[in-house]
Amino acid sequence: MKPGGPLTTSPSPRRHRTTLAALLLLTLGGTPLLAQHQYDYHRPVEAAPSEADIGEGYVTPVVQYHPPRPQWHAALDVGLLAAALLIGVWLVLKRRSRAGLLALAGACLIYFGFYRQGCICPIGAIQNVAAALTDPDALISYYVIAIFLLPLIMAVLFGRVFCGGVCPLGAIQELVLLKPLRVPNWLDRPLRAVKWLYLLLAIWLATRSAATGADSDPTFTRDFIICRFDPFVPFFRFAGPTYMLLIGGGLLILALFVGRPYCRYLCPYGVLLSLLSRFSWRSVNITPDKELDCGLCADACPYGAIKNLRAERSTCLYCARCFNYCPRHRVRDRDPQPSTTTPSD
């Protein structure tokens, strides 16, 4: 499809075969999408008086209407997500700065959480993707595809930088973590399996009506449970069902003492991220140069992600906390002329 081509003339979604890059060009180029944003609505109108009937130069007022969010807003969101992911990688792997990462996480919490009100997020996008893959009637927007894939691609390359620096659900838990307690292994392991079950359940419920088609079926049963039981979105919106406010509040209180309970034990997107980051190209190196045997980092990690004094790629949440506890890191920081050689693997 040519940029500026007739995106709007064809109601068939199948024709919109274009790449994300072309979409971004199209939307950033400011091509207005003059689509008709309402359903056609036909009623017999012979009885309605015309302007001439009414007389005295009466002019029919325009129908009140507010168009949907412009497309460039969506493109901006995707761009901001990509930028935040790259900045997060740079802050953690190059600058090794916990303060910088916290600032990034706070900014993302404000933008993606409180300003954009938490919708749509990559976690919830799992369900849209599952529905679009199985249901021929389900559509998915370019925006959702990009939001879903970008953190996964970054996980393959650099690990779970989305969790540490960008995800507003992660950020809100990171910021409230007051006094981390160690979750014993016998409890930690089974709890970590819960998010797998949650993911499978969410996919099943999101694809359930695939066979019947959702449009006119009154027994439409598809449900997006990840969104329904999203614990922190009610806080972002200052509105929500009471039981969700209670669950979210409870999880936040738990997050004072247990590091990121939602991310570690419930987040279905965390399953995908941990799978893809297992073999990531780059990952967090705790010491900047020389490894020590002190184990201070392992005690400092509230997420139990440091095994054998190495950050485990699949569970490391890119919080950069361990850097601040590493003696080598402090030595290097105090060194007025830090060595210019990069740390060897």
Partner 1 sequence: MNEPQTRRELLGHAVRGTALLGLGGLGALLLRRADAEGAWRINCDLCINSRLGAVGIEACELCASQCVLPLSAVRAVNDHARCGRCYICPAYFDVKSAIDERGLPSLKLCPRDAIERKPIGWIDPDDPANNYYEYTIDEERCNGCGKCVLACKEPAGLSSIRLEVRHSLCLDCNRCAIALACPHAAYLREPPRPSEAAR
Q: Is 28 in the site for partner 1 (CB under 8 A)?
A: no
Q: Is 189 in the site for partner 1 (CB under 8 A)?
A: no
Stretch near partner 1 under the rule CB under 8 A, chosen from 39-47, 247-255, 259-267, 291-299: 39-47
Of the pair 69, 330, the CB lying nearest partner 1 is at 69
Q: Is 279 in the site for partner 1 (CB under 8 A)?
A: yes
Q: Is 21 in the site for partner 1 (CB under 8 A)?
A: no
Stretch near partner 1 under the rule CB under 8 A, chosen from 35-43, 87-95, 172-180, 181-189: 35-43
DSSP-based three-state secondary structure for 311: strand
Q: Phi and psi of 139, rounded to 5°?
A: -110, 160
Q: Is 80 in the site for partner 1 (CB under 8 A)?
A: no
DSSP 345: -
Q: Is 76 in the site for partner 1 (CB under 8 A)?
A: no
- Smallest CA-to-CA distance from 16 within 29, 32, 27, 5 is with 5
**Both structure tokens of 25:** 């060009």
Pick from 2, 9, 64, 293: which binds partner 1 (CB under 8 A)? 64
Question: CB-side exposure of 274: number of CA atoms within 13 Å?
Answer: 21
- Judged by CB under 8 A, the chain residues 94 through 123 that form the site for partner 1 are 117, 119-120
Residue 143: count other Cβ atoms within 10 Å of its Cβ: 20
Pick from 2, 9, 21, 66: which binds partner 1 (CB under 8 A)? 66
Q: Is 165 in the site for partner 1 (CB under 8 A)?
A: no
Residue 138 near residue 214 (C-beta atoms within 8 A): yes
Amino acid occupying residue 234: P
Q: Is 194 in the site for partner 1 (CB under 8 A)?
A: no
Stretch near partner 1 under the rule CB under 8 A, chosen from 30-38, 82-90, 105-113, 295-303: 30-38
> What distance in Å separates the CA atoms of residue 233 and residue 119, rounded to the nearest whole number?
8
Contacts of 126 (CB under 8 A, 6+ apart): 148, 199, 202, 203, 206, 226, 268, 269, 272
Stretch near partner 1 under the rule CB under 8 A, chosen from 93-101, 174-182, 209-217, 284-292: 209-217
- Judged by CB under 8 A, the chain residues 127 through 156 that form the site for partner 1 are 127-129, 132-133, 138-142, 144-145, 148-149, 152-153, 156
Amino acid occupying residue 54: I
The alpha carbons of the chain give a radius of gyration, in whole angstroms, of 25
- Judged by CB under 8 A, the chain residues 306 through 335 that form the site for partner 1 are none
Pick from 29, 32, 58, 181: which binds partner 1 (CB under 8 A)? 58
DSSP for 206-226?
HTGGGTT-SSS-TT-----HH
Stretch near partner 1 under the rule CB under 8 A, chosen from 101-109, 211-219, 245-253, 287-295: 211-219
